[in-house]
Amino acid sequence: MTAAPDLAHLLKALADPTRLRMLALLDGRELTVGELSRALGMSQSRVSNHLRLLRETGLFAERRSGTSTFLRLAPDRGGALQDGLWNAIHSELATLAAHRKDLTRLERLLEDRERSQARLFDEIAADWDKIGADFATGQARQRAAACLVPRGMVIADVGCGTGYLARGLAGLVERIICIDRSKPMLDQARKRLASERPEAQVEFRRGELHALPLRAAEVDGLLAGMVLHHLADLGPALREMRRALKPGAPLVVLELEPHSQDWMRDELGDRHLGFESAFVARALERAGFESVNVEPVDDHYTPRPKRSKSTPTELPVYLVRAFAPRSP
């Protein structure tokens, strides 16, 4: 952890309105230096100068991936600020016209980012099984499916892609609801499930993970397989999953351990290069899930690059199982 700066240095860093605006934009979201510059309407060099002064305060965390530097507000703000002081500063920011303009620019930027990612998924849907749906042994699929049985259940597979996980459940449960933002992905899932499991009861719904096309408490179980690393912010999607589950119903997450395959950002639309299992478990708890448990899996994910010259690599995966609250 970064040591807390002395009070005079900290107050000097916070005395500049631009630096406060920067911290406010990084609260609850991760942005590249370039994205932060565009949201502030400032040159990247000017933003970098302010970041140099803030770096010593421990107020933000940064990570490097390829040529990009990603920034976010540190969870404990480096031990530098008490919550009361930060809350007072943050509430004042909400009244600033400059900050409101920052948020407007940021909203447009994030919308552009979402549209770009959506176009990517539409373009690669037909090839997804070749480049983004291969596993070494298949045990991860079997274990994920086994957590959701017995029969008679209605299961949602969110971010289903081409239905490669739903195919392992088809015929084992009463009905599967496959959900994805991409129509071409859903078309591929429909075709494959109709061919391989014609007897299964499967429904296809198009929608976003942060606004699931599911009624409250509609499903008996929910599967999120290899999908969280595509999200900029886990919170809204996890809260939606909790809303859609019946009281006490399980959610099973299949995810990647952290890795260094940066080509997956461009070719597979990955926002994050895996997560520590403890990070996902904490995110589930913050979203209101109970009895969160991480389960290791003796399996690997083997994505295959189509455009880059990267060599296919076996990436370790894990399961996290959690339950919606038994009481509202």
Q: What is residue 84's predicted lDDT score, i.e. its pLDDT?
A: 64
Task: Kindly report the average pLDDT of the chain as a whole number.
Answer: 88
pLDDT of 170 above 90: no
Q: What is residue 182's predicted lDDT score, i.e. its pLDDT?
A: 96
**Between residues 47 and 243, the one the model is more confident about:** 243
Least confident of 118-122, 136-140, 187-191, 256-260: 136-140
Q: How confident is the model at residue 26 (pLDDT cuts 50, 70, 90)?
A: confident
Query: How many helices (H) does the chain have, and how many strands (E)?
Result: 13, 10
CA distance linking residue 289 with residue 241, whole number of Å: 10
What are the tens digits of pLDDT across the range 203-226? 999 999 999 999 999 999 999 999
- Where helices occur in 170-315 by DSSP H, the ranges are 183-196, 234-244, 263-268, 277-286
**CATH 1.10.10.10 corresponds to the domain 7-95:** yes
pLDDT of 144 above 50: yes
Q: Is the dihedral of CA 239, 245, 250, 252 positive or negative?
A: negative
Q: What is residue 294's predicted lDDT score, i.e. its pLDDT?
A: 97
CA distance linking residue 178 with residue 78, whole number of Å: 42
Tell me what the mean pLDDT of segment 312-317 comes to: 90
Tell me what the mean pLDDT of segment 16-44 comes to: 88
pLDDT of 254 above 90: yes
Q: What is residue 256's predicted lDDT score, i.e. its pLDDT?
A: 96
DSSP state, 310? Answer: P
DSSP state, 71? Answer: E
Q: How confident is the model at residue 134 (pLDDT cuts 50, 70, 90)?
A: confident
- Dig out the tokens for 162 from the structure: 């081409």
Nearest 5°: the CA angle 105, 43, 7 is: 90
Tell me what the mean pLDDT of segment 317-322 comes to: 97
Q: What is the pTM for the complete model shown? A: 0.65
Nearest 5°: the CA angle 175, 180, 185 is: 100
Q: How confident is the model at residue 1 (pLDDT cuts 50, 70, 90)?
A: very low
- State how beta strands 221-225 and 154-158 pair: parallel
- 241 closest CA partner among 328, 324, 149: 324
Q: How many Å from the N-terminal Cα to the C-terminal Cα in the chain?
A: 37
CA distance linking residue 158 with residue 253, whole number of Å: 10
Residue 162 sits at φ, ψ, to 5 deg, of: -90, 10
Q: What is residue 2's predicted lDDT score, i.e. its pLDDT?
A: 46
Residues 6+ away with beta carbon under 8 Å from 279: none
Q: What is residue 228's predicted lDDT score, i.e. its pLDDT?
A: 97
Percent of the chain with pLDDT over 90: 52
Q: What is residue 235's predicted lDDT score, i.e. its pLDDT?
A: 95
What are the tens digits of pLDDT across the range 60-73? 888 888 788 888 88
pLDDT of 259 above 90: yes
Burial 3-38 (b: 16+ CB within 10 A, else e): ebbeeeebeebbeeeebbbbbbbbeeebbebebbbb
CA distance linking residue 311 with residue 280, whole number of Å: 28
Instruction: Provide the residue ranges of all domains of the chain, joining segments of one domain with +.
Output: 7-95, 126-323
Nearest 5°: the CA angle 238, 241, 244 is: 155
Which of the four CATH numbers 3.40.50.9100, 3.40.50.150, 3.40.50.620, 3.40.50.300 does domain 126-323 have?
A: 3.40.50.150
Q: Is residue 203 within 8 Å of 175, Cβ to Cβ?
A: yes
